[in-house]
């Protein structure tokens, strides 16, 4: 096991109706005027935004709003939010939505108190040393941004989708998790969220670091729970208990606990981010397409961990590592398929992917050789993309 530092300071408020406590939570972190950031429609239609506003009013918290944040969020809305936050003397950001909304809120939080261009953080030209506090009311279990220190934004110029990772500054101060808020999710978004949270665990699980048994078992346990609960939410979107388990799994998958003590991988995410940047697909659905392709490559080149994954998560009973790994991939694909997720570029809605472009952007953004579990060149990542054709 490697040495590690792990801090997960987000306070989670979990359960039915907990969005009514938003005002109290905002007051508790010392904010007096916040920017409510939200998406296109869903949170307005469900009445959630109105309930959040009532809760803020009750606690005499002032607010302005920034709405219409789209999936795969872009830098233009961040610049807009920073300007409003400065003009209105905002002292905190309240994200009501999913990963796209939360990531935009985080970027605004860091950019508002920074003299330069907020993109400097994403381009690796500056390190965050300060940010406004961010609170979250989560509406979709998927990206895990409610507990992570990460923010993923696309720069429209050049379509660079970059994931910024911080230890501390971008971790939300609180996250309100009411599983009932996820009842309205369309099946495709529910399924894509499930693929995304599984990928967050697997990116940490596929590691070259030996002797991380506790962390491995945490990962395997959460993955098994997801596989058990997922069919229930797909069959009955208003199954509170199943929604609750999936929601908590999504948070645990990405708040860092699944990575303690080891090198992490993240190649599949980097590869997917290029697909969603160029083709605008849903992130989790892109991962359902890329992850089995990544594992197929690993079954050929480094099968020991995929074999362990197959044996422990899907109860595969095969001695030979490569054969066990391939059998595990087949179970994973069946599972994704059962949720209605795409497994190929065509099923994802990308008929003729420009693999050369994806590979070029990937290695421009992430380096010549990438990957924590197994080091991959541009020739290797081209093969992995081609496995998803």
Q: Which residues bind ligand NZQ (CB under 6 A)?
A: 39-43, 71-72, 97-101, 103, 139-140, 142-145, 148, 150-152, 181-182, 184-185, 189, 193, 196, 254, 269, 283-284
Q: What is the closest distance, in whole angstroms, from the C-beta atom of residue 197 to Zn ion in the complex?
A: 8
Binds 40: which of ligand NZQ, Zn ion, none (CB < 5-8 Å by kind): ligand NZQ
Question: Considering the rule CB under 5 A, would residue 196 count as an interface residue with Zn ion?
Answer: yes
Question: Are 10 and 175 in contact, with CB atoms under 8 Å apart?
Answer: yes
Which one, 146 or 196, has the nearer CB to Zn ion? 196
Q: What is the closest distance, in whole angstroms, from the C-beta atom of residue 222 to ligand NZQ in the complex?
A: 16
Binds 363: which of ligand NZQ, Zn ion, none (CB < 5-8 Å by kind): none
Binds 111: which of ligand NZQ, Zn ion, none (CB < 5-8 Å by kind): none
Radius of gyration of the chain (CA): 20
Cα–Cα distance measured from residue 99 to residue 105, given in angstroms and rounded to the nearest whole number? 10
Structure tokens at 111: 């950019």
Binds 215: which of ligand NZQ, Zn ion, none (CB < 5-8 Å by kind): none
User: How would you classify residue 12: left for phi > 0, otherwise alpha for psi between -120 and 50, otherwise beta?
Assistant: beta
DSSP string for 178-190: -GGGGTT--HHHH
What backbone torsions phi and psi does residue 262 show, to the nearest 5 degrees? -155, 165
Structure tokens at 217: 């078992």
Question: Are 106 and 94 in contact, with CB atoms under 8 Å apart?
Answer: no
Which one, 196 or 380, has the nearer CB to Zn ion? 196
Candidates 103-111, 114-122, 196-204, 343-351; binding stretch for Zn ion (CB under 5 A): 196-204
Which one, 196 or 220, has the nearer CB to Zn ion? 196
Cα 192 → chain centroid: 11
Binds 98: which of ligand NZQ, Zn ion, none (CB < 5-8 Å by kind): ligand NZQ
Q: What is the closest distance, in whole angstroms, from the C-beta atom of residue 151 to ligand NZQ in the complex?
A: 5
The number of helix segments (H) and strand segments (E) in the chain equals 16, 8
Binds 325: which of ligand NZQ, Zn ion, none (CB < 5-8 Å by kind): none
| 3 state DSSP class of 173 | coil
Contacting positions for Zn ion (CB under 5 A): 196
């Amino acid at each position: 096991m490697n040495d590690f530092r792990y801090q997960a300071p987000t306070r989670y408020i979990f359960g039915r109706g907990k969005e009514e406590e938003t005002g109290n939570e905002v007051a508790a972190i010392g904010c007096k005027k916040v920017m409510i950031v939200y998406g296109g429609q869903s949170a307005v239609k469900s009445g959630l935004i109105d309930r959040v506003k009532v809760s803020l009013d009750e606690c005499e918290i002032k607010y302005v709003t920034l709405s219409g944040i789209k999936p795969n969020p872009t830098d233009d809305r961040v610049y807009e939010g920073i300007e409003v936050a400065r003009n209105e003397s905002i002292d905190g950001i309240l994200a009501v939505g999913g990963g796209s909304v939360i990531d935009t809120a985080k970027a605004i939080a860091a950019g508002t108190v920074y003299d330069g261009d907020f993109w400097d953080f994403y381009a690796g030209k500056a390190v965050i040393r300060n940010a406004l506090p961010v609170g979250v009311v989560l509406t979709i279990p998927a990206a895990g941004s409610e507990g992570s220190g990460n923010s993923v934004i696309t720069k429209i110029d050049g379509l660079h989708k970059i994931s910024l990772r911080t230890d501390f500054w971008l971790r939300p101060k609180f996250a309100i998790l009411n599983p009932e808020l996820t009842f309205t999710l369309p099946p495709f978004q529910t399924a894509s969220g499930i693929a995304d949270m599984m990928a967050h665990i697997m990116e940490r699980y596929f590691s070259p670091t030996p002797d991380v048994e506790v962390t491995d078992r945490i990962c395997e346990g959460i993955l098994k729970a997801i596989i058990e609960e997922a069919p229930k939410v797909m069959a009955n979107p208003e199954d509170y208990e199943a929604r609750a388990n999936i929601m908590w799994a999504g948070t645990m998958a990405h708040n860092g606990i699944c990575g303690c003590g080891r090198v992490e991988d993240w190649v599949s995410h980097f590869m997917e981010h290029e697909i969603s940047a160029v083709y605008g697909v849903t992130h989790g659905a892109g991962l359902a397409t890329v992850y089995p392709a990544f594992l197929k490559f690993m079954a050929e080149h480094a099968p020991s961990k995929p074999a362990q994954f197959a044996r422990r998560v899907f109860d595969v009973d095969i001695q030979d590592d490569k054969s066990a790994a391939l059998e595990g991939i087949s179970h994973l694909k069946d599972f994704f398929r059962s949720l209605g997720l795409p497994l190929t570029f065509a099923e994802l809605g990308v008929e003729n992917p420009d693999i050369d472009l994806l590979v070029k952007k990937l290695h421009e953004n992430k380096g010549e050789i990438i990957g924590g579990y197994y080091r991959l060149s541009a020739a290797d990542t081209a093969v992995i993309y081609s496995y998803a054709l």
